[in-house]
Chains A and B, each alone.
Chain A
Amino acid sequence: MSRTARDTCLLLGLSVAAIVASGILLLIILFLSTEAWPVFSQVGLLKFAFDEAWYPTEGAFDLKPMLVASFAMSMLSIMLAAPLGIASAVFCRFYAPPVVRRAYQWIIILLAGIPSVVLGLWGLTVIVPLILMLAPPGASLLAGSLVLALMIVPTVALTTQAALASIPQFYWVGAAALGLSREGTLLGVALPAVRSSIFAGIMLAMARALGETMAVLMVSGNVVQLPTSLFDPVRTLTANIALEMAYATGDHRSALFVSGLALTVLVFILAWVARRSGGQVVHA
């Protein structure tokens, strides 16, 4: 094959792969939209936010409790996971002796690989009973947040580690030449230099938390209600879809697609924000 022919083949192959990959995404969104459309056109957007309750078989489609639950749970989990992840990355990079650092990195990577259903199982048998001792029923917003936090710590830790590793050498040398201490360099130079990458990592972790279904479903109680305390059982959007999809028909089914669409849009927004902030060039 001549060189130009090989080039053409390669170009063709790559283009097809790229079109298929992006096309599938578009098709998914299209599919979600068409499935959601019947109930959308009948009841309108506002009903999903301001209806009195979620009785989808009787035409009441209030998604608010689930939206609030999803949002509260991912926020809580990120509030727990972000400090933990950032601190562990900083510890690994600056303070840990090499042996500890390697071991710790392995643990973080393994933690990232635990299937969510296994974490759910662990949450159900360890976390939920513990919370039950504090306040019944145990399966709650707090339990879901704790399990989610554990799940997204690796995302935050690994993105922070990568960001810290990308800091050019001359910043460290420059800081040392100014007589800055290790703490001063860390807080004054290193973390500010990579703040946007860390923020991007947090956004990605949050997107993951929003989308997580199985573990959350197993530990958070699944009662459709606006939570008033950390110990209230809640149902997230994802859990709602997983629980009801099997038997939903008609408008009910269509309403579940609406919640799926809402979730997708939310995750897209987070990913976009992450990309926007992570794409900033911080070092010249």
Chain B
Amino acid sequence: MMSAVDDKPTPSREGASSAFTLGPLVAGPPCCTPQTHISIKSVTLSYGRIPAIRDVSLDIYKGCITALIGPSGCGKTSLLSCLNRLTDLIPGCHVEGRIAIDGQDITTPDLDVQRLRRRVGMIFQKPSPFPLSIWRNLEMPLREHGVTRRDELEFRIEKALADVGLWAEVKDRLGSAALTLSGGQQQRLCIARALTLEPSTLLMDEPCSALDPLSSAVVEDLIQSLKGQYTVVIVTHNLAQARRIANYAAFFWVKERAGTLVEFDQCRTLFDQPRHELTAAYVKGLQG
């Protein structure tokens, strides 16, 4: 099992999260007072009239990795999509309740969703680089968000690629097609692409499940290295992975045909001393 004990406090680009460090990942009181970054209050999400998530309230802490676990169809991905308003793209999808990021309500209709999605990046299960060159994949979103100075572009792209450990692998072939990269490299490119926009939060929807075990391990290490600098919310079906990398875990279950939050706690506590019997059964692999 990987240890997070030697996680160094990573210096942040901007002052906001620089005071934040993480202690060892053991059960017990956290090393520092958790600071709420994303506050989810009584969120109910329905497709048409059918609720997919019912009355979920959850605080996601700054700089931590929070894993959303639970059986398929319990609304984990739907909840994730609420956090960057990707739910807007689904016809008939309706979200009630309040979600605030850094104290700002993001459920209001007049919100600038493009700015929101710049602050809240998302990584999907299937690596989705665009059919462009590696460089264009990173440059295009930056330009779209108004970064046009050549030196600034180069700085951000090199930094993001270095952060995901791709710089050494691709620096000599930035002009070649992104789809020629391996699956794991593509996924890291997608993470780099999100990082170039300097988000505060990263949403990850089973980022490793489409990768081979070796690439998966590399991406997992990468996600761990993001801890402290970014708030990460990760949906995963791989319980061992959740246990290895997450500081906090939220367990969802389907009740009355809609996903609900059963238990939320520090990851180790949730796995080792679950309070709820559904959680206990699930983490032991007996159900779901």
- In the complex, the chain A residue whose C-beta lies closest to that of B114 is A179
Residue contact B128 to A171, C-beta cutoff 8 Å: yes
In the assembled complex, A249 has its CB within 8 A of some CB on chain B: no
In the assembled complex, A192 has its CB within 8 A of some CB on chain B: yes
Residue contact B89 to A173, C-beta cutoff 8 Å: yes
How many B residues touch A, CB cutoff 8 Å?
27
CB contact under 8 A between A180 and B144, given known A173-B89, A173-B124:
yes
- In the complex, the chain A residue whose C-beta lies closest to that of B115 is A179
How many A residues touch B, CB cutoff 8 Å?
20
What chain A residues lie within 8 Å of B89 (beta carbons)? 172-173, 176
State which of B131, B141, B144 has its C-beta within 8 Å of the C-beta of A283. Answer: B131
Q: A63 vs B272: C-alpha distance in the bound complex, in angstroms?
A: 87
Residue contact B86 to A188, C-beta cutoff 8 Å: no
Residue contact B113 to A193, C-beta cutoff 8 Å: no
Q: How far is the CB of B118 from chain A (nearest CB, A)?
A: 4
Binding site of B, secondary structure by majority: helix, strand, loop or mixed? helix
In the assembled complex, A282 has its CB within 8 A of some CB on chain B: yes
Binding site of A, secondary structure by majority: helix, strand, loop or mixed? helix
Interface string of B111-144 (1 = CB under 8 A from A): 0011111100110101010111000100011001
Top 3 A-B pairs, shortest CB-CB distance: A179-B117, A177-B122, A174-B128
Question: A: which residues have CB within 8 A of B?
Answer: 170-181, 184, 188-189, 192-193, 282-284
Question: B: which residues have CB within 8 A of A?
Answer: 84, 86, 89, 113-118, 121-122, 124, 126, 128, 130-132, 136, 140-141, 144-145, 179, 190, 193-194, 197
Given A177-B86, A178-B121, 11 new contacts (CB under 8 A): A173-B124, A179-B113, A179-B115, A179-B117, A180-B141, A184-B140, A184-B144, A188-B130, A192-B132, A193-B130, A283-B179
Instruction: Name 29 A/B residue pairs within 8 A (Cβ), A-sorted.
Output: A170-B126, A170-B128, A171-B128, A173-B128, A174-B124, A174-B128, A174-B190, A175-B130, A176-B86, A176-B89, A177-B117, A177-B121, A177-B122, A177-B124, A178-B193, A178-B194, A178-B197, A179-B114, A179-B116, A179-B117, A180-B114, A180-B141, A184-B140, A184-B144, A188-B130, A192-B130, A192-B131, A192-B132, A284-B179
